Chain A
Amino acid sequence: MDLSFFVVLLAAGIRYGTGTLFATIGEIFAERAGVLNVGIEGMMLMGAVTAYGAAYYTGNPWLGLLVALIVGGVMALLHAFVTITLRADQVVSGLALTLLGAGLSAVIGAPLVEVRDAPQLPAFPIPGLAQIPILGPIFFDHNVIVYIGLLAAPIAWWYIYRTRPGMELRAIGEYPAAADVLGIAVIRQRYLYVIFGGMLAGLGGAALSLAITPLWVEGMTAGQGWIALGLVIFASWNPLRAALGAYLFGAIGRLPLDLQNLPLFLANPQLGYFARMLPYLFVILLMIISARGNMRRRIGAPAALGQPYVREERGA
């Protein structure tokens, strides 16, 4: 294995990790606000299918992106209403969202499965930078959506840690009562961040169907929504670490394709299945670790994550 193997692998990791990255950043915003949304997979699928459909019927992939943002946001609004206003269990509502998204996207997408020529988002090697050896192909020779992802992570980080609204966001996920007495509209902000998280999940789906894969097949996200959920924990709710994780997962997900031509894998085809299991195994491991209460506090989970906020109950 030479250097070019790794260049190709890293470039592919960034490419394939982009969809997961959007979803992960979106979930970080929702969870920072205190609302767990395990329905990412459903929102990504709906984003992917509606984006692909809109691009196909209108001929404009950017319109597809816009539709995916709206659809993801609307689905998240549903989750927000059920969990924030009705105070239902967040995990149950999120699971329902996943099932809804999986089913609905299959129905809507049935006529699109045969379509192979919907317009895609353009690839755009950045002139000058793309020619730099090693760094060029890894970072600067991608589809536009990949650059948006590369920029989204630092912007999200800056917003959360270095701005006033970001500080409020962290507060409402840590101790909503404290934010409330200071006049921060906890409920409204939770709604906004959950919807924003859904929009990013939709965007992540659209990135798959309009640029990365690019086509529509039923269940095409293949668990990326669940991986995003695990990555949020891996990233300690930090967008920069989320980018690292998403790209790493992109590379691990891509690895089986590169490995299958190695003599060892050619001789033992069953090894390939194990290689493809790796990302999911890793997520399961993360979930087990994070499910322990002690560990959650230690890795910096928002203290009020998963708890509805009710003003009149405080102190009673």
Chain B
Amino acid sequence: MPDATYAVEMRDITKRFPGVLANDHVNFGAQAGEVHALLGENGAGKSTLMNVLCGLYRPEAGAILIDGQPVHFHSPRDAIQSGVGMVHQHFMLVQSQSVAENVFLGVRNASFSLRSQQMAAAVQKIGDQYGLPVDPNAKIWQLSVGEQQRVEIIKILYRGARILVLDEPTAVLTPQESEMLFQTLRAMKNDGKTIIFISHKLEEVISIADNVTVLRAGKVAATTPAKGMTKAQLASLMVGRQVFFQFDKAPAKLGEVRLALAGVEAQDDKFLPALRGVSLEVRSGEIVGIAGVAGNGQRELAETVTGLRKLTAGKITVAGRDVTGSPPLVMIDAGIAYVPEDRHHTGTAPNLSVAENLALKAYRKPPIGHGALIAPDAMQTSAVDLIRAFDISTPGPQTPARKLSGGNLQKVILAREISAEPQVLIAASPTRGLDIGATESVRKLLLAQRDEGAAILLISEDLDEIFAISDRIVVMYEGSIMGEFPTAEAEIGQVGLLMAGGEHGAHASAV
């Protein structure tokens, strides 16, 4: 069915990766002046499809049409020349270079010798036109995540893109920054551009998109106007079954203080201050959520509390015991469990078996460890028990951990950490990258731990998650605590404002 009104059309796209059929005869079309959302769980094939559109991947079969004309993209350059530009989820920016340099990178008709003033002026002009304020001479590493995203958008607009693909653009933004982005998207839409918006946040899709294409397991589940769709309808299209958004959460039964930080300070990898006088308490039976935009000291906080990073000032107490400056082994001994952000490398040893990964903490003590020796039978038995108890889907205890899906890998980590019966559980972005089903079960596990009396510190960039399961919300910005609310009384707007540095910070980043 040829439709000349499509600005971009993809027909019967099939893309295969070793062992995975990422796109299976996918059809997709979007018109000029349209915001088209591409919705799907992780691994549904959204990013693959868009990487095909941008010339990064070559499909095994299928055709791409721009304004009704067939095109063949062999590289991103071809796509750019046809007017297709993509804002990747992981920004494609060179940290050590300036905004203007990043915008002009790879532009062929630029002069051989760089003219920095002209470059800056060009960046400024596009920024003014679409409401994308950013200092052209700033270095990328000096910018906030929201500002970096603006640079990415300016970059593709400068290249004359008419079709813009944004891969989960709001995943890293505060609610206010997201609102600014949406205004920019509307401005571009009114300018006749086509915007393809990859997301798994349902409210957003309903509010900003004209049409939605839902992908499930590499196939198109539906293409529909966004207007009139409900969250529940979209979610069931995404996962292929009914989804419930509410958790039955019993009121917190607060016990004694398990984790106490007093005036903790620490440095980041570049020896710059990352934590500035952080004081906080987590009690038995509660989940405290740390909200903040990525890179505001959350990682350093987790590493400091677990003994992986040295603190430069302050005091840490675990269950009444002063563990300030202790190495990880002492922290573990004091009752700290840790679910790290990077589950593939920090959380597990990818080439060791599931059983070995499950025993990575328990191996020091009987029944598994006997002095320098390991009892393989005991390890196997305990692994079988944990695999059953935590519903880990694996071919067997001896399967290498790297072969597990993200959700099952996370369950391995949780099983290991929880079975150690910790006093305090530190969970950093525990559901990032997981599909809806796995996210649900991880959150339920955390809630169950809380109900059994563990003190849980949840560090997450996903505000929905913080609001869904934490009892108290603590907002971090540039290594400081900006505010603290009981979740029941917290407002998302207020939290978002504090995530951007409060009144003053929000103002500064909006100018």
Contacts and interface: CB of A to CB of B under 8 A. Distances in A.
A174 B155 CA distance: 18
A184 B105 contact: yes
Contacts of B89: 315
A297 B93 contact: no
Given A163-B113, A182-B106, A294-B270, A311 B93 contact: no
A315 B90 contact: yes
A181 B86 contact: yes
Contacts of B76: 180-183
Interface stretch (A165-173, A212-220, A247-255, A263-271): A165-173
Given A174-B94, A174-B96, A164 B80 contact: no
A164 B94 contact: no
Given A181-B86, A294-B271, A170 B112 contact: no
Contacts of B419: none
Contacts of B28: none
B95 A183 contact: no
B54 A181 contact: yes
A150 to B, nearest CB: 22
A175 B92 contact: yes
B200 to A, nearest CB: 16
Nearest to A294: B269
Contacts of A164: 104, 107, 110-114
Given A178-B105, A181-B76, A182-B76, A167 B113 contact: no
B261 interface: no
A102 B105 CA distance: 40
**Interface residue range, chain B:** 35 or more
B324 to A, nearest CB: 22
Contact of A182 (B92, B112, B271): B92
Contact of A165 (B47, B86, B112): B112
Contact of A181 (B56, B111, B114): B56
Interface string A142-178: 0000000000000000000011110110110011011
B114 A183 contact: no
Contact of A183 (B57, B75, B111, B155): B75
B96 A315 contact: no
A178 B105 CA distance: 9
Nearest to B77: A183
A178 B92 CA distance: 4
A178 B94 contact: yes
A73 B214 CA distance: 52
A2 interface: no
Interface string B85-109: 0101111111111000110111100
A163 B114 contact: yes
Interface string B41-78: 00000010001001011000000000000000001111
Given A163-B114, A183-B77, A294-B271, A175 B106 contact: no
Contact of B106 (A179, A312, A314): A179
A123 B91 CA distance: 53
B165 to A, nearest CB: 11
A99 interface: no
A303 interface: yes
B271 to A, nearest CB: 7
A92 B414 CA distance: 39
Contacts of A116: none
A167 B104 contact: yes
A300 interface: yes
Contacts of A293: 269
Interface string A263-285: 00000000000000000000000
A165 B113 CA distance: 9
Contacts of A311: 56
Given A163-B112, A181-B92, A315-B89, A171 B105 contact: yes
Contact of B105 (A168, A298, A312, A314): A168
- Select the residue from B57, B91, B93, B105 with max chain A CB neighbours within 10 A: B105
Nearest to A303: B95
Interface string A236-248: 0000000000000
Nearest to B58: A312
Interface centre among B54, B57, B101 (most CB of A within 10 A): B101
A212 to B, nearest CB: 33
Contacts of A182: 76-77, 80, 92, 105-106, 155
Contact of A300 (B47, B96, B110): B96
Contacts of A300: 96
A179 B106 CA distance: 7
Contacts of A314: 56
Contacts of A297: 269-270
Contacts of A170: 94, 96-97
Contact of A179 (B47, B54, B105, B110): B105
Q: Give the most central of B86, B93, B94, B96: most A CB within 10 Å.
A: B94
A175 B101 CA distance: 13
B94 A175 contact: yes
B7 to A, nearest CB: 21
B94 A171 contact: yes
B97 A167 contact: yes
Given A164-B114, A298-B271, A183 B80 contact: yes
Contacts of A177: 92
A183 B93 contact: no
B163 to A, nearest CB: 15
A178 B106 CA distance: 10
B94 A184 contact: no
Nearest to B267: A294
Nearest to A171: B94
A175 B95 contact: yes
Nearest to B155: A182
Contacts of B270: 294, 297-298
Nearest 8 interchain pairs by C-beta: A183-B77, A182-B106, A178-B92, A181-B76, A174-B94, A171-B94, A184-B106, A175-B94
26 contacts: A163-B112, A164-B112, A165-B112, A167-B104, A167-B114, A170-B94, A170-B96, A170-B97, A171-B94, A174-B94, A174-B95, A174-B96, A177-B92, A178-B91, A178-B94, A178-B105, A182-B76, A182-B77, A182-B80, A183-B75, A183-B78, A183-B80, A294-B271, A315-B51, A315-B88, A315-B89
Given A168-B106, A174-B96, 14 more contacts: A164-B112, A171-B97, A174-B94, A175-B92, A179-B105, A182-B80, A182-B92, A182-B106, A183-B75, A183-B106, A298-B271, A303-B95, A315-B47, A315-B89
Interface of B: 17, 47, 51, 54, 56-57, 75-78, 80, 86, 88-97, 101-102, 104-107, 110-114, 155, 269-271
